Structure formats: C-alpha cells, structure tokens
DNA sequence: GAAAAGACCGAAACCCTTTTCGTTGCGTGT
DNA sequence: ACACGCAACGAAAAGGGTTTCGGTCTTTTC
C-alpha cells in the first residue's frame, strides 16, 4: 500500500511535510489550505492533494497559539448525575457546526478547591470561554471577574449580578403546568414538591400560584415540601388522598415525585388521568416514558440553554458585550397520558 | 486595589510579563517555576511571587507544542443518554490527580460521518489519546490503526482484534447474579431480558446458565427477549407469573426491566423478596434506589473501566505496549431489598 | 521594445514555553 | 596575581502554523 502511514504510531503530519510533497513553501501551503486568494489554482490543487494523501490535520494548538482562539470551551460542573449537564453540553457542542467547537467537561464534584484546580487547568488549556453549570437553580458563588475569558453561568445563576447567567424559567414552568391542568378541566389541584431550600421548588410554587390566582382558584392544602424522591412522591400522595379525597390533580415538583404519585394513585385504585391528573417537571426521558400512564411534564429546554451559552461566549470574543444579570429560558409543555387520556 | 487585573477581559498573562516583573529572563523564570535546580533560592522566590501576583497560568498549548504532550484525552461516544459514558468519563478524569488530565467529550450521535468529523477535531487538538465509548456492548467498527495516538475502546469492543478493548464482563455478571439468587435459596429462576441482538443480553444468559448448571438447576421456561424497557418487564413478568406460578426469582436483564417486574409482582400481590426475588443489571442509581423494595443489582464498575482506559493511554505514551484484544472488568454485586429482606 | 502592473510565491517574524548551551561573576587554590 | 571550577543566569532555537512583506515572473500597455 504505497503512501500508507506506518501502522500503529505514525507521528502526526505537519504542514512542512505537506509543503515538501507539494513542492511549495509552508507559507504557500498554508494559504492554499485556508482558501487565501494569493495562490494559483493549480498550486492549490497540488497542495490539497498532498494534504489529502498524507491525511494532514492542522495542529489547532499551533493555530491557537498564534490566533489566540482555540475553538474550545470549558464546561465546569458539579452535577455528578449529569442529568442536567449533558443536554447543556450537547447544546453547546451544536451551537456551531459539528466539530467546530469542542467542549472540555470537568466535574468539580461539588468541591471548591477542586473547582479551582479545574479552573486553572482549563485556563491553562486556553479555552475560549467558560460555561459553569450548577446542580440546582440556586445562585452559586461567582468564579471571579478577572478571568481572561468570558464566563456564562447556566442552570445555577451566579450570585454576582455582574455575571451573565442563563437559567430555566421555573416560574413560567409552574404557571404553564397549572394552566395545562386547568385547561384539562381540573380545579382541585394539590402540590407535592421537593426540598424547600431549592429555588426551583419555590419558583415553581410562585408560578403555580399565579396561574391559579388568574383563574380564581386556590391550591388544595399546603404545599408539601420534602425531598426530590419517588418515595416522597408516594408517601405525600397517600397523605393527600386521605386528607383531600376530592382532589383531581397533583402538581409534582419533579418527574420522580410524579412517578411516586402515579404509583400511589394506582395502589389506591384512582384512575389516571380519569380521576386524577398528574404532571411533573424536567421531562426526564427515562422517567416520563416508563411510567403508567406516561407522564406529562414541563421540559426546561436545557439544550437551548447550552446552545445560547456557547453562542454568547463566542459573540463576546468577537467584541460583543457579554451582558449581565439572569436571563431565563422559556419552558415547554410536553403532554402525555397522565393528564390527557390517549387514543 | 493595587496589582489587580482589570475587570472583565484582562488578557492572559505570559511568562514574559512574569519575568519582567521579577527582573529576570524568561528562561530563568521558566526554570524557577518548574523547579529546575539552576536557579538561586532568592531568585526563585521573586519569580514565584511575581507569578502569584499576576495570577500567571502557563500556556499548556505552548507547552504541548514543544513537549508533544497535551494532557488531554478525547472521549468519543455515541451514547446520548450518558448513562454509561459519564461514569467512564469520571474514571478517566480521576486516573491521575485532579486537573492533571482533561477530557474532551464528543458525541457523534451515532452518525459515522459525524464521528469522522469529531475524530478529526480531536486529533487537530492533539489529544494524547482516544477513548471510544459505544452505547452497547456489541463490537463496533474500528476507527482505524494509522492514528498518531493510542486508542482504547470501552464498553463496546472494537471489531478488530488488534485494537485494545475494555468491556464489562457480562458473563461473570450473569453468573454472579444467579449465584446470589441461589445463595438466597432460590431454585425456580426465570429470566426476562432485552433485545436479543445485544451481546450484553446473550452474555448474561450464558453466565446465568453456567451458574445454574453448576448448581444442577435449569432456567424456568425460555429466556424472554424483547426490549430494555420497564413496560416489557411488567408485561413479561405478568406472562411469567401466569404460566409458571411457582417461580421464586426473576433474573432481569436490566434495572429497568427489573423495575417493571417489581411493579407486576406488586400488582399481583406477590411479596418481594418473600415470594419472589428480583435482581437487575447496571446498578443505575435512580432506578435501584427508588423502587419498592430497593433493587439488588450487578454493578459493571464502569468508573474503573474509565480509569484503566486512561491509564493505558498514558502508559502507551510512555513507550509501554498498548496491548490488544478484549479485556473484561469484573462486576460487583450490590445487595438490596429485592433479594434479601432488610431490617 | 521597454516599463508598469499584476499574479504568484517564499523568507521571516510571531505566538509562548522549554531546554540547551554559552557567558558571567565569584570564590578558591597555588 | 593567575587559572580554575562552579553556581547562576541569559540568548537562542525549537515546536507548527499564519501573516506580512518583498521579490520574481508573466502579462499588458504605450
């Protein structure tokens, strides 16, 4: 096989070698490959063919060293589970073409000094920007201002109003959920949610109350706070059904809680959605599609969040103002069988 | 605030500036920061202080250009959900100290040409090595041999025996699961699993049969194949309980199927683990801890897989032979309430 | 036929860090 | 006083690519 690289360990091909094979200087080779105009068509063709033959890949490090751009962003997270961070990452990756921007994913494991380590490592790799993703929507400490690259906080906003934060609009999410329940003809709605120290929990309550007010309704009973687990969803719903047997909808603070609610409803012979409608938040695929019936949920549109975070970073590099403050991303209602009978 | 960088957009500090502030040459500054011996203690202190003051971070790109190492590995995946890839990533990140090695995560979305794009992007960023993660344990096409960096396949082995693949040992997993059921006193064991085209499904059956043979037992009925969903777990278990009412254990091909099995058992009034034991595979946290009762499962130790993949990559860079063929990682049994009564 | 105008190509500087090697200055031995 | 050794430091090259600028060759114009 003539021209084939040696198997297993061929060293990377440099522009110099391409130029030599094409019989031109490195300068010309560079211009030919980058579509500069000062090169003859025939010469360009020779260079391109040589590059192809050697399967030349330009060294982004060397380019970045010169140009000051690396085409990479750092994604700093403390969200172990990755339920939130992965859609955000995929969105950021897709913000431009495939392979145009690559993402360094670093997990700080919720540890501040580990975060500092990772931050330093990312900066030393000359990422063009930083996306900081928290595991809850409460504000988190800023990583600082005197960084050489733009920083965007996603999901969890920075506690510094000078920073730019992109977060899901949980108030709107709460409102959207209740509006949907009302439009399904429900009026006796109870709310089971998770840890009250989470801003997400509070915001959704706020939104839900607003929508109820607008319809002249009130929540049945107090909001039931505890933890974001199925177990709590089951237990809370059991209490709820005993105390208020006439409720016709349970607004659940997460898909997990909603699954628990579905289980209890089923155990007690309440039909969903016939007797009781159930709705969750997050639209977590594995949760919503495997329950009986499938679960209506509010999707926070995390992928869009990641995409716009990356776009903001690169816009800032092009001289645009990065912006500041907390910006929200509108949620999306995904209707399934737990609120509307199918078929 | 004297000496503070300008807010929001200070450019990156270079070694030259540190050297100037310390009143030495860049060469001396470099040696001082890297602990070389040919520098006086007082000078070193001055340099370190200057670096601190300017919050200098060395440019890894420039280092990498010179040394030929970047301290980064590329993680190429097609596993959208990230259920498997994230533990692997965390393992790789942890293979050495925090921030020592960073990981580029790229998702090819199961598309071959997209994979080529990502591969090229990673090589152009001069990753030191590549970890390729598949979404199922079947073999996948090799990304090729004539790459300038070592490649390790994780979870899904390469179809080329010359490549190095690290995969979970699903045969051992099947064996381990059945041995546990037998040690719990079960003897009438049925098996519900997922898509028969998955190697993971077949391997676990093989292991399970081996363990049953060794105990002089046989599987109750045929292996029930279909899909990896809770729905199938529910439906299959319903059929099973009707056809073989005296089974005392269901071996489930995944945690999701196992959850379905638990649901059906509950619906039909069979006590778990009293009447029937249920066991799953994957030890997927959200699944196993939220079921009633909590689910015993076989953990494939993915984090270890990621860690050894990264270690292999860097060992290969140090001249060690990369190795070839498929290597398996022993699984781990995690006992919970679905096989052993608690309290 | 000579000069001006393009078109095309190459030498060299530059990005930032590491490393080699040469230079400086000091103390020591004679 | 002189040579020598040694410690400490700096100049310069290297690594791979891009860009500027100057040079060569061809073509056009009068």
pLDDT in tens, B298-319: 999 999 999 999 999 999 988 8
Neighbours of A328 (CB within 10 A): 17
What is each CA distance from B5 to A162, B12, B26, B55, in whole angstroms? 16, 10, 21, 9
| Tens-digit pLDDT profile for residues B4-13 | 333 345 678 9
Gap from A145 CA to chain B (nearest CA, Å)? 5
- Say what percent of chain B tops pLDDT 90: 74
Considering only residues B236 and A317, tell me which one the structure prediction assigns the higher pLDDT. B236
Closest C-alpha among A17, A96, A32, A69 to residue A309: A96
Average pLDDT over residues B16-21: 94
Cβ contacts of B279 within 8 Å, gap of 6 or more: B177, B180, B181, B249, B250, B251, B252, B258, B295, B296, B297, B298, B338, B339
CB B43 under 7 Å to nucleic chain C = no
Q: Would the CB atoms of B10 and A147 count as touching at under 8 Å? A: yes
Closest C-alpha among A184, A157, A88 to residue A326: A157
User: So what's the pLDDT on residue B97?
Assistant: 77
Gap from A28 CA to chain B (nearest CA, Å)? 20
* Strand arrangement, sheet containing A249-252: A189-192, A249-252, A277-281, A296-299, A332-334
Chain B residue with minimum CA distance to A260: B290
Average pLDDT over residues B207-229: 96
CB contact B96 to A (< 8 Å)? no
What is the number of H-type helices and E-type strands within chain A? 12, 11
Average pLDDT over residues A183-198: 96
Chosen for mutation from A85, A124, A265, A266 (greatest number of chain B CBs closer than 10 Å) is A124
Gap from B186 CA to chain A (nearest CA, Å)? 28
pLDDT band at B114 (very low <50, low <70, confident <90, very high): confident
Gap from B77 CA to chain A (nearest CA, Å)? 12
pLDDT higher than 50, residue A8: no
User: So what's the pLDDT on residue A10?
Assistant: 59
Q: Would the CB atoms of A8 and B58 count as touching at under 8 Å? A: no
CB A66 under 7 Å to nucleic chain C = yes
What is each CA distance from A182 to A188, A248, B30, B247, B277, in whole angstroms? 9, 10, 68, 46, 43
Residue ranges of alpha helices (H) inside B84-130 are: 85-94, 112-124
Chain A residue with minimum CA distance to B284: A81
Return the minimum-mean-pLDDT range out of A66-70, A95-99, A266-270, B216-220: A95-99
Query: Is B283:B334 a contact under the CB 8 Å cutoff?
Result: yes
CB B27 under 7 Å to nucleic chain C = yes
User: So what's the pLDDT on residue B10?
Assistant: 60
CB B70 under 7 Å to nucleic chain D = no
Q: Which long-range contacts (CB under 8 A, 24 or more apart) does B154-162 make?
A: B154/B88, B154/B305, B154/B306, B154/B309, B155/B79, B155/B84, B155/B88, B155/B302, B155/B305, B156/B132, B157/B326, B158/B132, B161/B324, B161/B325, B161/B326, B162/A8, B162/B324
DSSP H/E element including A176: helix A170-183
Residue ranges of alpha helices (H) inside B5-77 are: 15-22, 26-33, 41-54, 60-67
Chain A residue with minimum CA distance to B262: A263
CB contact B103 to A (< 8 Å)? yes
Token pair recorded at residue B287: 């699944």
What is the distance in angstroms measured between the alpha-carbon CA of B13 and the sugar C1' of D20? 26
User: Going along A138-193, which residue ranges are E strands?
Assistant: 151-154, 164-168, 189-192
CA distance B43 to B329: 51
pLDDT band at A7 (very low <50, low <70, confident <90, very high): very low
Average pLDDT over residues B218-243: 96
User: So what's the pLDDT on residue A111?
Assistant: 86
CB contact B269 to A (< 8 Å)? no
User: So what's the pLDDT on residue A343?
Assistant: 57
**DSSP bridge pairs for A224:** A192
CB B14 under 7 Å to nucleic chain C = yes
Q: Which long-range contacts (CB under 8 A, 24 or more apart) does B2-8 make?
A: B3/B53, B4/A146, B5/A146, B5/B54, B5/B55, B6/A146, B7/A145, B7/A146, B8/A145, B8/A146, B8/A162, B8/A322
| Chain D positions with any atom < 7 A from a protein CB | 7-12, 14-21
Average pLDDT over residues A115-144: 91
pLDDT higher than 90, residue B94: no
Q: What is the mean pLDDT of chain A?
A: 91
Query: Is A101:A73 a contact under the CB 8 Å cutoff?
Result: yes
Residue ranges of alpha helices (H) inside chain B are: 15-22, 26-33, 41-54, 60-67, 85-94, 112-124, 170-183, 199-214, 230-243, 255-267, 285-290, 302-317
Q: Which residue has the tokens 């839900």?
A: A208
Residues in A 35-74 with any Cβ partner in B closer than 8 A: 55, 57-62, 64-65, 70, 72
Tell me the three state secondary structure of residue A279: strand
Q: Give chain B residues 2-61 with Cβ within 7 A of strand D.
A: 23-28, 37-44
Q: Would the CB atoms of B103 and A99 count as touching at under 8 Å? A: no
CA distance B199 to B194: 10
Most confident of A42-56, A164-178, B37-51, B114-128: A164-178
Chain A residue with minimum CA distance to B104: A104
Distance of CA A255 to the CA centre of its chain: 17
CB contact A323 to B (< 8 Å)? no
Closest C-alpha among A140, A247, A255 to residue A194: A255
Most confident of A1-5, A144-148, B30-34: B30-34
pLDDT band at B320 (very low <50, low <70, confident <90, very high): confident
Chosen for mutation from A1, A57, A324 (greatest number of chain B CBs closer than 10 Å) is A57
Token pair recorded at residue B239: 């059929």
Residue ranges of alpha helices (H) inside A1-137 are: 15-22, 26-33, 41-53, 60-67, 85-94, 112-124
Indicate the Cα dihedral angle A158, A162, A163, A168, nearest 10°.
60
User: So what's the pLDDT on residue A101?
Assistant: 86
Chosen for mutation from B103, B286, B293, B313 (greatest number of chain A CBs closer than 10 Å) is B286
User: So what's the pLDDT on residue B67?
Assistant: 86
CB A226 under 7 Å to nucleic chain D = no
Q: Which residue has the tokens 């391997």?
A: B203
Q: Would the CB atoms of B106 and A93 count as touching at under 8 Å? A: yes
CB-side exposure of B9: number of CA atoms within 13 Å? Answer: 9
| Tens-digit pLDDT profile for residues B274-302 | 999 999 999 999 899 999 899 999 999 99
Chain B residues with CB under 8 Å of A90 CB are 80, 107
Cβ contacts of B167 within 8 Å, gap of 6 or more: B137, B153, B154, B155, B156, B157, B305, B326, B327, B328, B329
Q: Which long-range contacts (CB under 8 A, 24 or more apart) does B269-276 make?
A: B270/B241, B272/B337, B272/B338, B273/B184, B273/B337, B273/B338, B273/B339, B273/B340, B273/B341, B274/B341, B275/B248, B276/B247, B276/B248, B276/B249, B276/B250
Cβ contacts of A111 within 8 Å, gap of 6 or more: none
> Number of CB pairs < 8 Å for A and B?
159
Neighbours of A74 (CB within 10 A): 25
User: So what's the pLDDT on residue B343?
Assistant: 58
User: So what's the pLDDT on residue A3?
Assistant: 33
User: So what's the pLDDT on residue B9?
Assistant: 52
| Tens-digit pLDDT profile for residues A277-322 | 999 999 999 899 999 899 999 999 999 999 999 999 999 988 888 9
Average pLDDT over residues A258-284: 95
Chain A residue with minimum CA distance to B294: A231
CA distance A107 to A116: 11
User: So what's the pLDDT on residue B18?
Assistant: 94
Burial A42-65 (b: 16+ CB within 10 A, else e): ebbebbbebbeebbbbbbbbbbbb
């Amino acid at each position: 096989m003539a021209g084939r690289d040696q198997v297993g360990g061929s060293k990377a091909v440099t522009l110099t070698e391409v130029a030599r094979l094409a019989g031109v200087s490195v300068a010309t080779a560079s211009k030919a490959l980058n579509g500069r105009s000062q090169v003859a068509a025939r010469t360009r063709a020779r260079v391109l063919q040589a590059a192809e033959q050697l399967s030349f890949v330009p060294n982004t490090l060397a380019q970045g060293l010169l140009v000051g751009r690396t085409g990479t962003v750092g994604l700093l997270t403390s969200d172990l589970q990755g339920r939130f961070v992965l859609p955000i990452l995929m969105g950021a990756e897709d913000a431009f073409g495939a392979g145009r921007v690559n993402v360094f994913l670093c997990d700080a494991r919720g540890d501040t000094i580990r975060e500092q380590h990772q931050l330093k490592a990312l900066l030393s790799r000359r990422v063009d920007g930083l996306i900081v993703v928290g595991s809850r929507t409460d504000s988190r400490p800023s990583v600082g201002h005197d960084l050489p690259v733009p920083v965007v906080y996603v999901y969890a906003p920075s506690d510094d109003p000078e920073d730019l934060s992109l977060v899901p609009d949980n108030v709107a999410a709460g409102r959207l959920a209740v509006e949907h329940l009302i439009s399904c003809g429900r009026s006796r709605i109870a709310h089971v949610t998770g840890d009250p120290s989470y801003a997400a929990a509070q915001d959704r309550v706020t939104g839900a109350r607003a929508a109820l007010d607008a319809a002249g309704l009130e929540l049945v009973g107090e909001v039931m706070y505890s933890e974001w687990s199925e177990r709590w969803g089951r237990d809370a719903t059991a209490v709820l059904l005993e105390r208020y047997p006439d409720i016709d909808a349970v607004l659940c603070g997460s898909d997990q809680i909603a699954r628990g609610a579905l289980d209890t409803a089923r155990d007690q012979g309440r039909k969903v959605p016939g007797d009781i409608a159930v709705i969750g938040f997050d639209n977590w695929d594995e949760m919503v599609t495997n329950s009986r019936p499938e679960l209506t949920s509010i999707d926070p549109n995390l992928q869009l969040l990641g995409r716009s975070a990356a776009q903001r970073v690169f816009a800032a590099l092009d001289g645009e103002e990065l912006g500041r403050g907390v910006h929200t991303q509108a949620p999306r209602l995904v209707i399934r069988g737990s609120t509307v009978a199918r078929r």
